[in-house]
Amino acid sequence: MPSLPTIEKDVEQRAKSAPDHGAFDSATAGQHDPAVVDYCQRLGDDALILGQRLSEWCGHAPALEVDLSLANIALDLIGQATNFLGLAGNANELAFHRDVLDWKNCWLVEQPNGDFAQTMARQFLFSTWQHMLYDRLAGSSDQRIAAVAAKAVKEVAYHRELAADWVIRLGDGTDESARRMAEGLDWCWRFLPELFELDETLQALVDRGIAVNPQSFEDDYRQAIGAVLAEAKLATPPEQRPILGGRRGHHSEHLGHLLAVMQYLPRTYPDAVW
């Protein structure tokens, strides 16, 4: 092996003044960038809150096999959350030591489980959106975000299929299952506009090629949702007054209760190690 060239003083100086001191793949690259941190929190919070909601089903699902499916989806989402919150900072700290006003998840994921149909409606509407988002996010100019999205997109494709399958089964099932499915969709419908909201933070990241503009796939989304609803013989719910604000820390009354359960132990024993 030939010896390496000596590093000149001025090269060393330039490397030191460069962001991240010239490291190839510094894990802290995004931590200097509040906008990227914010975006990773949005993505991570969405996944973590929905994962927490799904875990409430554990042992209560309609059948043993469904119980396993829901737990599987929850674990996938919590894995994604760990990755995205890890890019935003200390994932544990972010998950267990933030209160309601600091959470950036969308309203849809914090909604209560309701019955099985409402849970499936929520899952279907969210996973379809998340799949389209991650699919595009895998091309992000931020290598770390792209890598997490590329890994997660396969998982989410499965979530989307499974949820759509249940929407069709329940919608095109008995009178009662169809009624419950329609009510579940109706409950969730007002939270869809938030998924396509484009605020300043997001716009700035879209301009830099880091984030995906959700409006670029809104038509595809509405079409995909419509196709499944048609197969389920369900009417598309009427548009309702949109509810926005989750990305800015404005949440429904449900999130505080969810966090109280989720964060109980770390709040009681702040120095606990597990």
Partner 1 sequence: MSEGKGHDWPLWEVFVRSKGGLSHRHVGSVHAPDAELALRHARDTYTRRLEGVSLWVVPSSAIVASDPAQSGEMFEPAEDKIYRHPTFYDIPDVVKHI
List residues near partner 1 by CB under 8 A: 62-66, 68-69, 72, 155, 158, 162, 165, 169, 173-174, 177
Q: Which is nearer to partner 1, 158 or 196 (CB)?
A: 158
- CA Rg, the chain, in Å? 21
Burial of 27 (0-12, 13-18, 19+ CB in 10 A): exposed
Q: Residue 57 Cβ, how far from partner 1 at the closest point, in Å?
A: 14
Query: In the chain, which residue ranges form alpha helices assigned H by DSSP?
Result: 9-17, 34-55, 64-88, 91-96, 107-110, 116-137, 143-171, 175-189, 192-195, 200-207, 218-231, 254-262, 264-268
Q: Which is nearer to partner 1, 32 or 60 (CB)?
A: 60
Q: Which is nearer to partner 1, 96 or 158 (CB)?
A: 158
Q: Residue 48 Cβ, how far from partner 1 at the closest point, in Å?
A: 20
Q: Residue 47 Cβ, how far from partner 1 at the closest point, in Å?
A: 17
Q: Which is nearer to partner 1, 63 or 273 (CB)?
A: 63
Q: Residue 66 Cβ, how far from partner 1 at the closest point, in Å?
A: 8
Q: By the 8 A CB rule, do 200 and 252 touch?
A: no
